[in-house]
Amino acid sequence: MCESVAVGAATPPPSPTLLLLGHLGLILLAAGVLSLGMFISSLTESTVLSAIMTFVLVFFVVDSSTPLGNALPGLIGEALGHLSLLQHFTDFTEGVLDTSGVVLFASYILLGLFLTGPVRRDATIPAHLSRSHTPCPP
C-alpha cells in the first residue's frame, strides 16, 4: 500500500524494471542472510548464541567493504570489498542488473544451505522420531 502511494506520487514515475530489480535484490539479500543464519543456527543448540553469532557474521558480510576493506591494504582489502552484500544490493536498487551480484547472492545462498546440510545430518535424532526403529506389529 505504502509503496503504491510513493510510486504514484513520484515525479517522474520510476520505471517498472527499477521496481522489479529492487524487489529481486531484496529477495536475494534476504535469502543470503537467512541461509547464513540457518547455518549458524545449526552449529549450536543455544538460540541466543546463534542469534549473536548470526548478527556478527551478517554485520561483516553485509558491509564488509567499510570496516575491513579500508583497514586492510592491497588485494585482501579489495577482495573483501567485492564480498559486500550491501554494495551489490545497491546496484539492484539503482536498476543495474549485474551478473556478479546475482552470482554473489547465489553463492551465499548455496554456501549457507550446503554447510547446513552436513551439520543437520549429524544431529542426534530422538529415538521416537527416528525411522530406524522397528515398527509395531499390526
Instruction: Tell me the pLDDT tens digit for each residue of 43-56.
Output: 888 889 999 999 98
- Rounded to an integer, what distance in angstroms lies between the CA atom of residue 70 and that of residue 60? 13
pLDDT digits (tens, 9 = 90+) for 90-122: 889 888 888 988 999 999 999 988 888 776 555
- pTM of the full predicted structure? 0.75
State the pLDDT at residue 126: 57
Which of 19, 17, 29 minimizes the C-alpha distance to 106? 29
Domain ranges of the chain: 14-116
CB 105 within 8 A of CB 85: yes
32-83 pLDDT tens trace: 999 989 999 888 888 899 999 999 888 877 766 556 556 777 777 777 777 7
